């Protein structure tokens, strides 16, 4: 069956200043559960967008009701040998942890404690009814993915290693965490003790948007082992509380939080890309690009998968809500085959025949929602035109309105049985940069939030409703333009098969980045993002390429080459100018007289990145910019260098991309040489393969300022 996707709208919290609720549950007349999420078109309040899900739970839904409807029915299957995966997805502060973990009071308990309670109860029942012949053991493992590293939550934090636990692919195709501890759990009390202790190990820290924000993805695995005589049946329930995406411009996040946030946003972005790739039927699903997606292996795991989309009802989350509705709607299209885990015989090594392995590994199904009532009509329609792209989600407006002029307006909805009443207000995409919309307009408990819901008072420095409207308008315009640009590309161009040579080259780079253990984590991360951007670009997916380049930017702050790529892509997609995270106030135009700080950078804000400066990049860069200036280098010196024989030799050596040759330069060791070559492969090669000038070379990470001077001067000796 396809992944079951349900939405839960949380109630307003007392402290929340934005009381303007715009998200509501609909559909499901005559006592049937709701199936539609409705919210206004951000560009036209009188018109509604609707998204269809398997079920929709409104603000009044209790923890008990949600569990009874969505989780309890799968307990039986779990004991029949099926694996069950439950995961909560949504923007920060929308209620994921509340849904999964809940509060301490009995009525507030979330899905996880209720699941365990159900497991123990059913286990006892089975033992009782079998007259003691069948015994049921429960074992737990609990871990988090923090900054793309896996940490065991059942072990004290002192035992953590810097790199975390490695992942391993099993013969069955499943990805597992190597070296994870597992604890036997006798009863609910046992579980609660373990769970509370483990949660204290979980990295949560206060952010401005959510005072108890989860900064990691938490994964609880409950293994159920049923033994009858000499047969053993194992199945696993996984409950996953994903960290929420957030916008750093709104959260006042400090250095550490920024890095965390980048990791969280990246993994969630990869998840949305995987969902999209599966629903499109792509051959390559980018699971490998984040540990969370490797572990989740959406669509590859057998069994039953339920995705709970958490939503906040307020207007201040409007664009974020649209974005997560888009992603979740696509997830409905992922098919998971329900395959029972085999019974194995005690003492006999478990047989995993290749046939079984192959059968267990899920072939990815592009359009697998024959089970999804909303898609039946579309599935039929699709047959007529197999070349047409699969429309990834259903959204229709509720009010007949004038057709809009965007290119999107004429596209038919493909997976909704609902009548599309208006072609207006097509959905924004979830994967363009603009589609993880800014929370600029999100008020929570902050002052800004007040200004959102209260009219602007005279003389105050607040944002007026019209300003906000304009911001939303602009953002939506960007999103629509990006989508329109993407849609304008002919299908053959949208997903071309990469040439074998390019594919091989990219795969080799991917393997290398993964295998270089010596490499700084942040450096690897930055390179991975560049690689992902490169892959997207090769495939003609400019929007995804842009997103990846933008995410790589904090790892290579101020890099002219990278900024150029971003600017070009933004222009191509019809998006506005880039908003630089680097404070514009410290950015000055380079003048004839360029001032160089003692050990490195140019003053124009285009700080370079060398191996040592990868972490903590963003703040370090600003700190560097504040340092006193001590040396002044005149432009004529640069001009002379450009035309000197040393300059030409330096370029020649760098352009050779030969690690051994580059290492001969003064001040460049093995690591730096390798990092340079990788960077050149990713950034320069696609533009013709050459660093054309010394000025360009000075903007290559690791080759700015002093590193450049040393290498250059070394050639003069
Ligand atoms: N259904 C609900 N009923 C009552 N309160 C709720 C509900 N859902 C969420 N809340 C409250 O909203 C706040 C934010 O919820 P929560 O921490 O679960 O969000 P989250 O999505 O897990 O955020 P993050 O991703 O930042 O961890 C909490 O105070 C929580 O108690």
475 upstream amide cis, omega within 30 of 0: no
CB of 217 shorter than 6 A to ligand 1 = no
Which residue bears the tokens 């969370």?
292
Q: Which atom of ligand 1 is nearest to the CA of 215?
A: 27
Give pLDDT, residue 64: 94
CB of 261 shorter than 6 A to ligand 1 = no
CB of 210 shorter than 6 A to ligand 1 = yes
Q: Which atom of ligand 1 is nearest to the CA of 10?
A: 1
CB of 90 shorter than 6 A to ligand 1 = yes
- For residue 291, say whether it is annotated as part of any ligand binding site: no
Give pLDDT, residue 353: 34
List the residue whose alpha carbon is closest to atom 23 of ligand 1.
Answer: 93
Write the pLDDT tens digit of every residue in 56-91.
999 999 999 999 999 999 999 999 988 898 989 888
- Report CA(95)–ligand 1 centroid distance (Å): 3
Rounded CA-CA distance 52/36 in Å is 5
Pair 538, 502: CB distance under 8 Å: yes
Q: Which atom of ligand 1 is nearest to the CA of 101?
A: 18
- Report CA(637)–ligand 1 centroid distance (Å): 59
The secondary structure element, H or E, covering residue 593 is strand 593-597
CB neighbour list of residue 268: distance below 8 Å, 6 or more residues apart: 242, 243, 245
Q: Evaluate if residue 101 carries a pLDDT over 90.
A: yes
Rounded CA-CA distance 381/385 in Å is 7
Note the Cα 177 to chain centre separation in Å. 20
Q: Which atom of ligand 1 is nearest to the CA of 245?
A: 25
Rounded CA-CA distance 219/116 in Å is 14
**Banded model confidence at residue 463, pLDDT cuts 50, 70, 90:** very low
Q: Which atom of ligand 1 is nearest to the CA of 94?
A: 21
Nearest C-alpha neighbor of 332 from the set 381, 274, 295, 372 = 372
Higher pLDDT, 330 or 155: 155
Helices 465-488, 542-552: axis angle to 10 degrees equals: 120
- Report CA(448)–ligand 1 centroid distance (Å): 21
CB of 97 shorter than 6 A to ligand 1 = yes
Asked if ipTM goes beyond 0.90, one says yes
- Report CA(196)–ligand 1 centroid distance (Å): 18
- Report CA(307)–ligand 1 centroid distance (Å): 17
- Report CA(316)–ligand 1 centroid distance (Å): 16
Higher pLDDT, 534 or 70: 70
Pair 486, 432: CB distance under 8 Å: yes
**Banded model confidence at residue 436, pLDDT cuts 50, 70, 90:** very low
Mean pLDDT of 419-433: 32
CB of 244 shorter than 6 A to ligand 1 = yes
Ligand 1 pocket mutation, candidates 16, 56, 67, 97, criterion most atoms within 8 A of CB:
97
Give pLDDT, residue 688: 59
Residue 204 phi, psi (nearest 5): -125, 145
Rounded CA-CA distance 333/142 in Å is 29
- For residue 17, say whether it is annotated as part of any ligand binding site: no
Mean pLDDT of 406-412: 32
CB of 63 shorter than 6 A to ligand 1 = no
Q: Where are the alpha helices (DSSP H) in 160-246?
A: 188-201
- For residue 451, say whether it is annotated as part of any ligand binding site: no
Write the pLDDT tens digit of every residue in 25-34.
998 777 788 9
Q: Where exactly are the structural domains of the chain?
A: 60-312+334-360, 500-716
Per CATH, which fold does 60-312+334-360 belong to?
A: Kinesin (3.40.850)
Q: Evaluate if residue 139 carries a pLDDT over 90.
A: yes
Pair 710, 568: CB distance under 8 Å: no
Give pLDDT, residue 78: 93
CB of 13 shorter than 6 A to ligand 1 = yes
CB of 265 shorter than 6 A to ligand 1 = no
CB of 212 shorter than 6 A to ligand 1 = yes
Q: Chain-wide mean pLDDT for the chain?
A: 67
CB atoms < 10 A from the CB of 355, how many? 8
List the residue whose alpha carbon is closest to atom 12 of ligand 1.
Answer: 95
Give pLDDT, residue 636: 62
């Amino acid at each position: 069956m396809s992944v079951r996707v349900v939405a839960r709208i949380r109630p307003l919290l007392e402290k929340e200043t934005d009381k303007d609720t715009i998200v509501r549950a609909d559909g499901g007349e005559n006592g049937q559960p709701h199936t539609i999420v409705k919210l206004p078109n951000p560009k036209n309040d009188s018109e509604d967008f609707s998204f269809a899900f398997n079920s929709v739970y409104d603000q009044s839904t209790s923890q008990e009701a949600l569990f009874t409807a969505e989780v309890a029915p799968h307990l039986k299957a779990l004991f029949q040998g099926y694996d069950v995966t439950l995961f909560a997805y949504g923007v920060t502060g929308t209620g994921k942890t509340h849904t999964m973990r809940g509060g301490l009071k009995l009525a507030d308990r979330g899905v996880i404690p209720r699941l365990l309670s159900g497991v123990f109860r059913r286990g006892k029942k089975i033992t009782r009814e079998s007259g003691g012949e069948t015994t049921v053991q429960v074992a737990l493992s609990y871990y988090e993915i923090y900054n793309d590293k896996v940490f065991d939550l059942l072990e004290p934090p002192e035992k953590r290693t810097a790199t975390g636990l490695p992942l391993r692919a099993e013969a069955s195709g499943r990805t597992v965490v190597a070296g994870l501890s597992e604890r036997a759990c006798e009863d609910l009390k046992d579980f609660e003790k373990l769970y509370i202790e483990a949660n204290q190990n979980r990295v949560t820290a206060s952010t401005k948007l959510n005072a108890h924000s989860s900064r990691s993805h938490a994964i609880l695995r409950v293994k159920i082992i049923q033994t009858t005589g000499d047969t053993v049946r194992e199945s696993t329930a996984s409950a996953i509380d994903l960290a929420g995406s957030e916008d750093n411009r709104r959260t006042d996040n400090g250095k550490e939080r920024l890095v965390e946030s980048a990791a969280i946003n990246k993994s969630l972005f990869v998840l949305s890309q995987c969902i999209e790739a599966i629903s499109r039927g792509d051959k390559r699903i980018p699971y490998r690009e984040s540990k969370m997606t490797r572990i989740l292996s959406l669509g590859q795991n057998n069994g039953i998968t339920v995705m709970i989309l958490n939503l906040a009802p307020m207007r201040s989350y409007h664009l974020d809500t649209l974005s997560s509705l888009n992603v979740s709607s696509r997830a409905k299209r992922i098919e998971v085959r329900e395959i029972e885990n085999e019974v194995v015989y005690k003492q006999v090594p478990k047989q995993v025949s290749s046939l079984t392995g192959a059968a267990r590994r899920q072939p990815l199904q592009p359009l697998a929602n024959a089970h999804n009532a909303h898609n039946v009509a579309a599935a039929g329609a699709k047959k007529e035109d197999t070349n047409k792209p699969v429309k990834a989600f259903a959204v229709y407006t509720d009010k007949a309105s004038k057709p809009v002029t965007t290119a999107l307006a004429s596209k038919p909805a493909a997976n909704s049985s609902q009548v599309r009443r208006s072609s207006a207000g097509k959905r924004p995409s979830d994967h363009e940069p603009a589609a993880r919309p800014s929370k600029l307009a999100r008020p929570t408990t902050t002052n800004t939030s007040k200004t959102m819901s209260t009219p602007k008072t005279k003389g105050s420095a607040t944002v007026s409703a019209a300003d906000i409207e304009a911001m939303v308008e602009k953002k939506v315009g960007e999103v629509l333009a990006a989508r329109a640009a993407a849609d304008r590309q002919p299908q053959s161009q949208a997903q071309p098969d990469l040439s074998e040579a390019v594919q091989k080259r990219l795969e080799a780079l991917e393997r290398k980045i993964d295998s270089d253990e010596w490499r700084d984590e942040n450096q690897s991360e930055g390179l991975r993002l560049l690689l992902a951007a490169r892959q997207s670009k090769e495939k003609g997916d400019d929007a995804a390429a842009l997103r990846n380049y933008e995410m790589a930017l904090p790892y290579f702050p101020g890099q002219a080459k990278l900024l150029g790529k971003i600017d070009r892509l933004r222009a191509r997609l019809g998006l506005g100018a880039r908003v630089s995270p680097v404070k514009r106030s410290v950015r000055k135009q380079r003048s004839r007289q360029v001032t160089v700080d003692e050990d490195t950078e140019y003053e124009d804000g285009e700080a370079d990145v060398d191996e040592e400066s990868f972490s903590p990049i963003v703040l370090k860069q600003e700190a560097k910019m504040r340092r006193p200036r001590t040396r002044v280098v005149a432009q004529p010196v640069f001009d002379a260098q450009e035309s000197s024989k040393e300059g030409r030799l330096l370029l020649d050596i760098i352009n050779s991309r030969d690690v051994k040759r580059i290492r001969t330069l003064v001040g460049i060791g093995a690591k730096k040489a390798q990092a340079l070559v990788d960077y050149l492969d990713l950034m320069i090669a696609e533009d013709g393969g050459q660093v054309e000038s010394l000025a360009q070379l000075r903007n290559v990470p690791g080759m700015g300022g002093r590193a450049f001077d040393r290498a250059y001067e070394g050639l003069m000796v």
